[in-house]
């Protein structure tokens, strides 16, 4: 027999899941209404390499490609449009050898070190 506390806990869990589903649906609506051909990643924060893919780019390569394609971008623009998790963006942007900030916009340094070199 289920207790009242167990029933309340189960209801709270379902409410949390419902909020997450509503948030995801709202994000999908924004993508659809913006006319973007991009789709939402069903596993945000996990790149193809982590999923077992072999042709995946690293997050650093993903950020470099995003900035090269979109030009100077704020952290918010990068977060909203690149698919890179916020913590990863913060970690990557502190690498002053690869990225530089002018005002509030970030770019890839033109004289960035070769790919194999680490900070």
Reference 28, options 18, 42, 15, 16; nearest CA is 42
Reference 95, options 119, 64, 114, 62; nearest CA is 119
Element (H, E) at 54: none
Dist. CA 1–CA 23, nearest whole Å: 34
pLDDT, tens digit (0-9, with 9 covering 90-100), for 22-36:
888 888 887 777 765
Domains annotated on the chain, with CATH: 1-40 (no CATH), 47-119 (1.10.10.10)
Provide the whole-model pTM. Answer: 0.48
pLDDT, tens digit (0-9, with 9 covering 90-100), for 87-118:
899 889 887 788 999 999 999 988 655 555 55
E-assigned strand segments in the chain = 99-102, 105-108
Reference 44, options 61, 27, 32; nearest CA is 27
Q: Phi and psi at residue 26, in whole multiples of 5°?
A: -65, -40
Residues paired with residue 73 on neighbouring β-strands, in sequence order:
106
- Classify residue 11 by burial, with Cβ atoms within 10 Å: 0-12, 13-18, 19+: exposed
């Amino acid at each position: 027999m289920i207790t009242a506390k167990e029933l309340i806990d189960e209801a709270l869990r379902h409410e949390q899941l419902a909020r997450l589903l509503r948030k995801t649906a709202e994000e999908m609506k924004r993508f659809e209404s913006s006319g973007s051909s991009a789709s939402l990643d069903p596993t945000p924060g996990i790149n193809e390499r982590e999923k077992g893919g072999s042709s995946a780019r690293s997050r650093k390569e993903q950020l470099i490609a995003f900035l090269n394609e979109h030009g100077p971008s704020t952290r918010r623009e990068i977060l909203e449009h690149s698919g890179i998790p916020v913590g990863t963006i913060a970690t990557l942007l502190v690498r002053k050898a690869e990225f530089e900030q002018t005002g509030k916009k970030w770019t890839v340094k033109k004289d960035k070190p070769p790919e194999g070199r680490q900070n």
